[in-house]
Amino acid sequence: MQGEDDIKFMRRCLDLALSAEGLTYPNPMVGSVIVYNGLIIGEGYHLKAGALHAEENAILSVKDKDLLRNSVLYVNLEPCSHFGRRPPCTDLIISNGIRKVVIGTKDTSEKVSGKGKEKLKSAGCEVITGILEKECRYLNRRFFTFHEKKRPYVILKWAQSSDGFIDIERDKKSERKPTWIIGKAERVLVHKWRASEQSILAGAGTIRSDNPDLTVRDWTGENPLRLVLSGSGDMGVDQPLFRTIGTNIVFTHNTSARIPDSEIVKLDKGRDSIEQVAEYLYNKNIQSVIVEGGAQVLNNFISTGLWDEARIFYGNKNFMQGIKAPVIKGKVYSATKFSSSTLKVILNE
């Protein structure tokens, strides 16, 4: 049974956790509140990897530590029980005499995986779990997918005309720039998205036709690691791949590919390319990737089933002809109207 207060305080944990969106990799987003007599007397969240954990910050923020013995600690993720960059939060909770802990959802990463809850219980703490569980899992969906499925969380993103085309037909003389379907507001949002993911991927076709930068310019935050998928290794250009300096990784079958400013990762022809990309990213500790086209690459992700979320802008313009947008099936999570388009978020479930 989820009490009204439990839900209210867990929501606060989620809000606090979200303050560090995109900043905590490889760690999850975690928020914690401490409640005494129905009132919040302390709160905290995890700012970035290596920094104090949410529970530590929440406990530190309480002025009168004597109140902790009769307080409840809320946290959206099971407290850690191992020595990592930080000592175990379970030990801090126990040594401060906190006797009740309300947890949003289990930490399914190997190091914790139920051991935090057990440690608290064996110290005599009352532990309640599963408050706003769905929301807590959704908040850290990248972290959970990475640890449970041993692959990064995959977000597919594209924009399509109202008659179902992702782009107009191009020829060699076409200018190398995107055909815009979305407006300024959506573009800002896309840059915010980029800042929240660890990597961004595009196919060589998109590099050839759109000459994209794949950086965060209309928002603040780190640029994601740029990934390019190219069977042939032919980018159609001999200048650096992107205008902005930074590491690029090119996945290709071409064993002799030499691409300026890029690390080449050779793909095995006998195995699915998308699976190899996912495997490589997992081994590099990359928890998420946003795939921004083109149609062929998006379709490859869809057909292998290796995607978690699709963010599709449906524009107002008709193209009449061009490159067909991918077709995808899933559960519509949300629909948002902009002046130039409607954004639908679809989950693979």
Interface residue list for ligand AOF (CB under 6 A): 27-28, 30, 46, 53-55, 77, 79-80, 84-86, 89, 107, 109, 111-112
Residue 30 partner contact from Zn ion, ligand AOF, none using kind-dependent CB cut-offs of 5 to 8 Å: ligand AOF
Is residue 123 within a helix (H) or strand (E), and if so which, with residue range?
none
Give whichever of 78 and 292 is closer to Zn ion, judged by the CB atom. Answer: 78
- How near is the Cβ of 283 to ligand AOF at its closest, in Å? 17
**Residue 84 binds which entry of ligand AOF, Zn ion, none, CB below 5-8 Å type-dependent:** ligand AOF
Residue nearest to ligand AOF (CB): 84
- Residue 232, class by beta-carbon neighbours within 10 Å (0-12 exposed, 13-18 middle, 19+ buried)? exposed
Query: Smallest gap, in angstroms, from Cβ of residue 96 to ligand AOF?
Result: 15
Question: Closest approach of Cβ 111 to ligand AOF, in Å?
Answer: 6
Q: Give the CA dihedral 137, 19, 217, 278, nearest 10 degrees.
A: -20
Binding mask 32-61 for Zn ion (x = CB under 5 A): ---------------------x--------
**Residues in 72-101 at the binding interface with Zn ion, rule: CB under 5 A:** 80, 89
Alpha-helical segments (H) within 21-99: 54-61, 89-95
Q: Which does 54 bind (CB under 5 to 8 A by kind): Zn ion, ligand AOF, none?
A: ligand AOF
110 is annotated as an active-site residue: no
Which H or E run includes 169?
Answer: none
- How many amino acids of this chain bind Zn ion (CB under 5 A)? 3
Cα first-last separation, the chain: 26
Nearer CB in complex with Zn ion: 27/160: 27
Minimum gap (Å) between residue 80 Cβ and ligand AOF: 4
Which CB, 85 or 176, lies closer to ligand AOF?
85
Six-digit token pair at 225?
């690691």
Instruction: Compute the least distance from the CB of residue 16 to ligand AOF, in Å.
Output: 10
Of 4, 21, 55, 175, which one is the catalytic site residue?
A: 55
Could you tell me the sign of the dihedral formed by the alpha carbons of 18, 22, 28, 34, in that order? Answer: negative
Characterize 159-170 residue by residue with b for buried, 16 or more Cβ atoms within 10 angstroms of its Cβ, and e for exposed: bbbeeebbbeeb
- The nearer residue to ligand AOF, 27 or 252, going by C-beta atoms, is 27
**What number of other Cβ atoms are within 10 A of residue 153's Cβ?**
22
Dihedral, 55, 60, 61, 67 alpha carbons, nearest 10: 90
Rounded to 5 degrees, φ, ψ at 156 are: -100, 135
Q: Which is nearer to Zn ion, 87 or 260 (CB)?
A: 87
Query: How far apart, in whole angstroms, are the C-alpha atoms of residue 36 and residue 215?
Result: 45
Neighbours of 69 (CB within 10 A): 11
Q: Of Zn ion, ligand AOF, none, which one sits near residue 140, judging by CB under 5 to 8 A according to partner kind?
A: none
Of Zn ion, ligand AOF, none, which one sits near residue 77, judging by CB under 5 to 8 A according to partner kind?
Answer: ligand AOF
Of the pair 53, 208, the CB lying nearest ligand AOF is at: 53
Matching residue, tokens 């060699």: 172
In sequence order, which residues have a C-beta less than 8 Å from that of residue 155 and are 6 or more positions away?
Answer: 193, 197, 288, 289, 290, 291, 307, 308, 309, 310, 311
Which residues, in sequence order, are bridge partners of residue 33? 43, 74
SS3 of residue 49 by DSSP:
coil
Instruction: Select the binding partner of residue 157 from Zn ion, ligand AOF, none (C-beta < 5 to 8 A, by kind).
Output: none
Which residues bind to Zn ion, rule: CB under 5 A?
53, 80, 89
Q: Active-site positions? A: 55
